[in-house]
Amino acid sequence: MKGTRIIVLGVVALMAIVFLFPLYVALLMALKTAKQSFDSFYALPPSLNFSNFVHAWETSKYPTALTNSLIITLLSVTLIIVVSALSGYAVARGNKPFYNFVFLLFLSGIMVPFQVTMLPLYKLGKSLHLINNHWGIMLIYGGFGVQTGVLFFTGFVRGISREIEEAARIDGCSTPGIFVRIVMPLLKPVTATVFVLNVLYIWNDFLIPLLYLQDKHYRTIPLQQYFFFGQYSSDLNLAFAYAVMGMIPIVVFFLFMQRFIIKGIAAGAIKG
């Protein structure tokens, strides 16, 4: 029995090394000069050398991209949470055929692939002046995020007993008052789920920024990286330094929020 356990541990550890290997190569490249990489590809750098990072920071507009990513992600996720919580609550408590119809509408929207709506959405964005600013892309993410958001919030509110709300209503509390004072504080767990899942998706999204943020000043990190890699394809060490810099924010987010992310994914599976 102990023997099998050691074998299992060995297999898992080997798999873990295989999984980390591509990232290890990226880090190795980022910390070496072109000549060091050429001389010996897998040798560790002779000394810790962050000049690639400094150079990448100066040439890449990294701070702009980071700010854009932060603004867009936070705005969109806030919008998604507020709108989905309101709609989810109405669907769960309304409980009439009409609300169920709206709920099914949101659900069936999940099946529509972005490539179908991409071109009309681009045209629509252009005519409404939603291209090349933070607001337009936020509305688009809002429209996509609300579909799964409502699913989560409706499911969660249905699990909350109505009794407290009824008692508050008898005491003269209005519907918005009940929502703000009683329901909202109870929504924390599901809000965390919707928050982490949408942050991961929006932060890393590539296609919508590619279409909606064509102005250099609005590029997000993945978009800026796409162009940077194309531009610096000859100086790979620099490009890798930039790649590592791009990974850092989301990896930090992941490590801090891991518990919520894992819970969120597991919860998502049950809802589906």
Partner 1 sequence: MELLKRTIRREFWYVLFLIPGVLLFTLAVIVPLITGGRYSFTNWDGISRKLTYIGWDNYVHAVRDPDMWTALGNTFKYAIILTILVNILALLFALLLDSYLPLKNLFRTVFFLPSIISVVLAGFVWSYNYSQGFPKLLAYFGLDVTSPLGNPDYALFGLIVIAVWQGIGSPMIIYIAGLQGIPGELLESARIDGAGAFHVLRNVTLPLLAPSITINMLLVLTGSLKVFDLVLVTTNGGPGFATEVITTFVYKTAFSSFKAGYGMALSMIFFVILVIVTVVQVSIFRKREVDL
Residues 14-73 within binding reach of partner 1 (CB under 8 A):
15-16, 19-23, 25-26, 29, 41-42
Among residue numbers 221 through 240, which ones bind partner 1 (CB under 8 A)?
221-223, 225-226, 229, 236, 239-240
Pick from 44, 50, 54, 94 the residue near partner 1 by CB under 8 A: 94
CA distance 169 to 171: 5
Which phi and psi (to 5°) does residue 44 adopt? -70, 150
Q: Quote the least distance from Cβ 207 to partner 1, whole Å.
A: 6
H or E element that contains 242: helix 236-271
CA distance 203 to 241: 19
Window 181-220: contact mask with partner 1 (x via CB under 8 A): -------------------x--xx-xx-------------
SS (H, E, C) 11-24: HHHHHHHHHHHHHH
Q: Cα 109 from chain centroid?
A: 19
* CA nearest neighbour of 266 among 183, 161, 196, 188: 196
Query: Residue 142 interacts with partner 1 (CB under 8 A)?
Result: yes
Among residue numbers 238 through 267, which ones bind partner 1 (CB under 8 A)?
239-240, 243, 246-247, 250-251, 253-255, 258, 261-262, 265-266
Query: Residue 104 interacts with partner 1 (CB under 8 A)?
Result: no
Q: Which is nearer to partner 1, 55 or 249 (CB)?
A: 249
